[in-house]
Amino acid sequence: MRFQFLTFILLFALLGCNPKTKDESTKKSKPAEKHKYAMVIHGGAGYMNDNPASKKANDLYLAVLDSVLTIGETILKNGGTSMDAVVECISFMEDKPIFNAGKGAVFNHEGENELDASIMKGDDLNAGAVAGVKTIKNPIKAAKEVLFNSRHVLLTGQGAQDFAKIQNIELVDNNYFYSKKSFDYLQQVLKEEKSSGKHSLGAEVEKTKKHGTVGCVALDMQGNIVAGTSTGGLTNKKFNRVGDSPIIGAGTYANNKTCGVSCTGVGEFFMRYAIAHEMSSILDHTDLNVEQAAEKLINGTLKNIDAAGGLIALDYAGNAAMSFNTTSMLRGYINPDVRYVKIFKD
């Protein structure tokens, strides 16, 4: 009897004291499927109108997002790199005045446009970013040059512009970014600021606005994830304010072992909560899958503190998350079998 009891204790110790241990080690949510390649894009979270009068404008957004998917898909399905897909897709969106990035960048307090962008590779965690640039036509291209051709991660202002010139990146006059719509919106925000007596940021003044930042995360057939983000920031930003978009770990992050992420929303919160890196950490250290992790951060952590925004992410198997706590987020996704673009919740 005593021998049997000792044998039982020994077996119990060998198999692990906690009978749940085996279950837990196999419980970790595996991605639903492994896709050969995949790409997810966003054109900003916000509060777009879903009424019939807005249908034409919304259809235009959907058509542009669809063209972006075609650009990325053509690169990825022909064996191109996720780096090329992300840079080409974001550059295309930067050239469209309908987004708050590149050409369509919003105005700062002084009536100028200051742009931010970043890009990160998930294979070696190398990254590049520019912030507060006023004359770089496509900030994402400059961010890529920082990644490949400098010892640094983040360059700002005039220094970033000097570097871009050396790298033969196209420079433009700050007027290139002028649009009447964005300038008029700055005047509206300034008026609101005057009457309220406190610093108002565009996104907060009117909950009908979309943020319009752009982002892209791609997984190529070599298994490499790249994530990038580009923005004009927030209307009426002051004192050379820099948001989350060019901050690695806040607005952008990529790690082949976990996921790639691009965020949009009021950047101060995404910086304080290191949202993009947090996505990667959650996948690394918990059982949650990419969609659950994104929901936890966007509709949990950030919603609880009234921080508006969203994120897109792709896990290492090409499964996507597209979470937002606003009423809309311009977004799209492709893998070899699936393709869609959307604005509002399902």
Q: Which residues of this protein are in contact with ligand ASP, per CB under 6 A?
A: 44, 100, 211-213, 231, 233-234, 243-245, 251, 264-267
Nearest to ligand ASP of 104, 251 (CB atom)? 251
Look up tokens 């005057």; give the residue.
194
Nearest distance in Å: CB 286, ligand ASP? 25
**For helices 139-149 and 157-166, what crossing angle results, to 10°?**
80
CA distance 90 to 68: 8
CA nearest to 97, candidates 88, 106, 108: 106
Query: What is the smallest separation between the CB atom of 61 and ligand ASP, expressed in angstroms?
Result: 15
Specify the residue, 95 or 204, whose C-beta has the smaller distance to ligand ASP: 204
Strand order in the sheet with 309-315: 252-254, 259-265, 309-315, 320-324
Unique residue bearing structure tokens 């004009």: 232
Kindly tell me which of 76 and 201 has the beta carbon lying closer to ligand ASP: 201
Cα–Cα distance, 53 to 63 (Å, whole number): 17
Smallest distance, Å, CB 186 to ligand ASP? Answer: 15
Separation between Cα atoms, residue 10 and residue 16, nearest integer Å: 10
Q: How far is the CB of 9 from ligand ASP (least distance, A)?
A: 58
Alpha-carbon 68 to chain mean position = 15
Residues annotated as catalytic (active site), given as ranges: 213
> Quick one: 228 or 267, whose CB is closer to ligand ASP?
267
296 vs 229: CA distance, rounded Å? 21
Going through 32-153 in order, the beta strands assigned E by DSSP cover 38-46, 115-121, 127-133
Q: In whole angstroms, how close is the CB of 266 to ligand ASP at the nearest point?
A: 6
Question: Strand, coil or helix: what is 217?
Answer: strand
Which CB atom, from 128 or from 212, has the smaller least distance to ligand ASP?
212
Contacts of 88 (CB under 8 A, 6+ apart): 71, 72, 75
Nearer to ligand ASP, 236 or 319 (CB): 236
CA distances from 65 to 20, 216, 279 (A): 46, 11, 24
User: Cβ of residue 35: shortest distance to ligand ASP, in angstroms?
Assistant: 27
Beta bridge partners, 321, equal 313
